[in-house]
Amino acid sequence: MRPAGDVSKALLQAVRDLATPERAPILKELAAHANLPEGLVMQTLKNMKRYDRVCIARTRRVPWCTRPVAEFGLPVVGQAAANDAMGDVGYAALARAWG
For 39-94, write each residue's pLDDT tens digit.
999 999 999 999 999 999 999 999 999 999 999 999 886 544 554 554 455 556 65
Contacts of 74 by beta carbon, 8 Å cutoff, 6+ apart: 12, 15, 16, 19, 54, 55
Query: Domains plus CATH for the chain?
Result: 6-98 (1.10.10.10)
Q: Distance from first CA to last CA of the chain, Å, rounded?
A: 38
pLDDT of residue 16: 93
pLDDT of residue 4: 75
pLDDT of residue 3: 73
pLDDT of residue 44: 94
Against a cut of 0.75, is the pTM above it?
A: no
pLDDT of residue 25: 95
Continuous H helices in the chain: 6-18, 27-34, 38-50, 79-98
Based on its alpha-carbon atoms, the radius of gyration of the chain, rounded to whole angstroms, reads: 18
pLDDT of residue 79: 46
